[in-house]
Amino acid sequence: MKVAVGQFAVSKDWQENVQTCIGLMERAKNAGAHLLVLPEAVLARDDNDPDLSVKSAQTVNEAFIAPLCEQSRHDQMTTILTLHIKTTPGRAANTLLAIRDGEVIARYQKLHLYDAFNVQESRLVDAGESMPPLIDVAGFKVGLMTCYDVRFPEMALSLALAGADVLVLPAAWLRGPNKEMHWATLLAARALDTTSYVVAAGECGNKNIGHSQVVDPLGVVVAAANQRPALIYAELESQHLADVRAMLPVLKNRRFASPQLL
């Protein structure tokens, strides 16, 4: 399976962000990608207004998603991103959407809200209450996660035990002391915990690090971006996945009960 990971600096203008997403979708499709992963909270962002993502929240049927669905109508590529969906007045859900063949085929409301490092995502955002689904992409089972979820190994393990071969992670990873090291370490750790591929898209810009990566089941980075807007590609190989899981059968060798999240 050929995967693409697109990172960009989300602007305060949602119409501009729609066009950026469509452009990345078109480029990934033309390159033969089966899966495109875009960053977290691509609707709108403003360095001077940390609440803009929630203030700009739409419904899943509003203007942001419609052109992305239309763009996807003419091919079988799956595009994954997150944006804020309205819940109650003044609040929203940080929602991952998987788009393919003209429609939203799966959605996931972020479970672990980023109440850390002097940020409180839960102030305006409602946490999800259920595990994300697995989706089928080009013969691979794909598990869905969002940003801060990567710090919770039991979630990645639950997805792998349910059958995931690949973990995807849209993110907007904030800059800060050692944060790039945290990001790289956590992506490799989740790949090794689960012997799964990890495909992570990071929003770049003044406040977020970018550094999108594709990591193989042995924790090896096979594609990576820096802090600039980029579209990177990698080939995920089912035989390599099978070989790693035969050589390093951590999912079979576990002595503890399956993790129960909720």
Catalytic site positions: 40, 110, 147
Structure tokens of 112? 């672990």
CB contact set of 158 (below 8 Å; sequence gap of 6+): 131, 258, 259, 261
Neighbours of 57 (CB within 10 A): 24
Nearest-angstrom CA–CA distance, 112 and 169: 13
Contact 196, 220 (CB under 8 A): no
**Count of residues in the chain:** 262
Structure tokens of 88? 């109650």
